[in-house]
Amino acid sequence: MAEQYTYAVARIRAKELSLLGRQEFDRLMACGSYEECLNTLHDLGWGDGDESTGEEILAAESSKMWTLLQELVQDRSVFDVFLYPIDYNNLKAAIKSVVTGVRSEGIFLPGGTVSPELMVQAVEKDDFSALPEKMREPAKEAYQVLVHTKDGQMCDVILDAAALTAIKEAGSASDNKMIRAYAELTVAVTDLKIAVRGCKTGKTASFLKRACVPCSTLNVDSLISAANRGPEELFAYLANTAYAAAAEKLKESASAFEKWCDDTIMELIRAEKSNPFTIGPLAAYLLARENEMKSVRILLSGKRNRISDGIIRERLRETYV
């Protein structure tokens, strides 16, 4: 029922006014130092005012965003499609920390659908029944692979593929067009990255087949076959797909490609600006905020490392507002 989000969407419209636009980014760019940037962020209402590092400010903003979204939707599972990467990343960390016996602080990302403690317990007991159904099998397989072969890369491949499958399934199950398109784009773009990296590092077809997940806008078999024939064949194949622009960016650099991915997602969600109902504008706000935080992280990192403004600007993402 689209009408159940009427209140939520109106509230999000009012919140969108506080998203950072071009002017705010110009103001941040004009800051002479990292510390000045932090002060400007505080002036713009970011953080709670008592944070002393950029990461603390970003964590506070992420927490504020999730508090708001949880307040607006009764069932948080509508956002699962955006949280699966966090879940599977935490699962990787849980498996590796248990198998290696190294327990480091801060290895888990906050905000997933499954608590990291539950994952650690499941791995320690070698009993994955407490995890969500779709996570059990890949978790068990990744754990067994790491225990028996110590092959960390294969462990990652298994869990990354499982994350992509979960995203794809959640996208297909959604009745929202934007969420479906987001899931498809995420899977296709990740397949593309895998194929390009696999091509450069000479991975076998069977390895790539294990890592890639089928999607509607890319033929995975043709992609893998092209990747195995070399970079020229791969880019020639991509030029005839919906991801020709992505291939051009990949030729340029990895960071140009990453920027293209984020800018394409911004393009995708822009249609939600004129949608007064459905979950779409809420999901768009979530992605816009994440994109904004990514840009702020890039900017802060650039300022801290005294990278030139020109290079920082090149890497800043398109804004939603």
Partner 1 sequence: MDINNLGVAMALLGAASAALLAGIGSAIGVGMSGEAAAGVVTEDPGKFGKVLVLQLLPGTQGIYGLLIAFITLSNIGILGGSSDVSFAQGVMYFFACLPMGLVGLWSARRQAMASVASIGLVAKRPDQFGKAMIFPAMVETYAVLALLVSLLAVSNISKIAI
How many Å apart are CA 139 and CA 162, to the nearest integer? Answer: 9
Please choose, from the candidates 312, 316, 294, the residue with its C-alpha nearest in 3D space to the C-alpha of residue 302.
312
List 1, 14, 74, 148, residue binding partner 1 (CB under 8 A): 14
List 21, 45, 230, 276, residue binding partner 1 (CB under 8 A): 276
Q: Which window, 15-23, 81-89, 104-112, 146-154, contacts partner 1 (CB under 8 A)?
A: 15-23
List 1, 3, 143, 311, residue binding partner 1 (CB under 8 A): 3
Helical segments of the chain, H only: 6-15, 22-29, 34-43, 54-72, 80-100, 116-125, 133-149, 152-173, 177-201, 205-211, 220-229, 231-239, 244-252, 254-270, 280-304, 309-315
CB of 61 to partner 1, least distance (A): 16
According to the binding rule CB under 8 A, does residue 102 interact with partner 1?
no
Q: Which window, 9-17, 53-61, 123-131, 180-188, contacts partner 1 (CB under 8 A)?
A: 9-17
List 34, 66, 207, 277, residue binding partner 1 (CB under 8 A): 277
Residue closer to partner 1 (CB basis): 18 or 39? 18
CB of 211 to partner 1, least distance (A): 42
Count of residues that interact with partner 1, criterion CB under 8 A: 16
CB of 285 to partner 1, least distance (A): 12
According to the binding rule CB under 8 A, does residue 1 interact with partner 1?
no
CB of 21 to partner 1, least distance (A): 12
How many Å apart are CA 209 and CA 49, to the nearest integer? Answer: 48
According to the binding rule CB under 8 A, does residue 270 interact with partner 1?
no
Residue closer to partner 1 (CB basis): 207 or 277? 277
According to the binding rule CB under 8 A, does residue 20 interact with partner 1?
no
According to the binding rule CB under 8 A, does residue 10 interact with partner 1?
yes
Helix (H, G, I), strand (E, B) or coil at 139: helix
According to the binding rule CB under 8 A, does residue 11 interact with partner 1?
yes
How many Å apart are CA 147 and CA 99, to the nearest integer? Answer: 7
Q: How far apart are the first and last CA of the chain?
A: 27
CB of 274 to partner 1, least distance (A): 8
Q: Please list, in sequence order, all residues whose beta carbon lies within 8 angstroms of the beta carbon of residue 19, skipping any fewer than 6 positions away.
A: 288, 289, 292, 319, 320, 321
- Please state the φ and ψ torsions of residue 24, each to the nearest 5 degrees: -65, -40
Q: How far is CA 267 from CA 150, 178, 259, in A?
A: 42, 11, 12
User: Kindly report the CA angle at 246 between 251 and 175, in degrees rounded to 5?
Assistant: 160
CB of 14 to partner 1, least distance (A): 4
Contacts with partner 1 by CB under 8 A lie at 3, 6-17, 274, 276-277
